[in-house]
């Protein structure tokens, strides 16, 4: 007897996964082919789009993390994931801000997505007492 296992309630939809996969492919392509200043310029070009709601961006961030291939030989971390989320959001006709930051002791860099309602993908982890300082926010 075959038993069907229901999908988790918070699993991304097919549309969200498809949009996230395209955003991730663009992010990885940009990351490997373009210097940071050109990636910033590409995100800055999205500033005329209407702002996205935090809930929508959070769903797309979850979808991006869901579609990360396990076979990928390179790095897929906060920089690539946050850019993929911003690009996936743009594919839905909305914009979110791409934030880059740093902290001291221990030195670390981090990238996340900002909305008017708050950050997405900004895991403080063990650094709750040493928050990241935003260095750049685009757009």
58: left (phi over 0), alpha (psi -120 to 50) or beta: alpha
Query: Does an H or E element contain 136, and which?
Result: strand 133-138
Per-residue confidence in pLDDT tens, the chain, 139 aa: 555 555 556 789 999 999 999 999 999 999 999 999 999 999 999 999 999 999 999 999 999 999 999 999 988 999 999 999 999 999 999 999 999 999 888 888 899 999 999 888 776 565 567 788 889 999 8
pTM: 0.88
CB atoms inside a 10 Å sphere around CB 45: 13
State the Cα angle at 29 between 58 and 110, rounded to 5°: 50
């Amino acid at each position: 007897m075959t038993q069907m296992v229901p999908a988790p309630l918070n699993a991304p939809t097919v549309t969200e996964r498809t949009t996230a996969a395209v955003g991730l492919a663009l992010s990885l392509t940009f990351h490997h082919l373009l210097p940071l200043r050109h990636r910033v310029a590409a995100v800055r070009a999205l500033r005329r789009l209407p702002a996205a709601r935090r809930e929508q961006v959070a769903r797309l961030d979850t979808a991006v993390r869901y579609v990360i291939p396990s076979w990928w030989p390179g790095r897929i971390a906060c920089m690539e994931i946050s850019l993929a989320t911003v690009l996936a959001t743009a594919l839905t006709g909305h914009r979110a801000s791409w934030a880059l930051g740093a902290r001291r002791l221990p030195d670390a860099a981090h990238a996340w997505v900002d909305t008017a309602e708050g950050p997405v993908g900004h895991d403080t982890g063990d650094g709750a007492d040493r928050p990241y300082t935003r260095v750049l926010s685009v757009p």
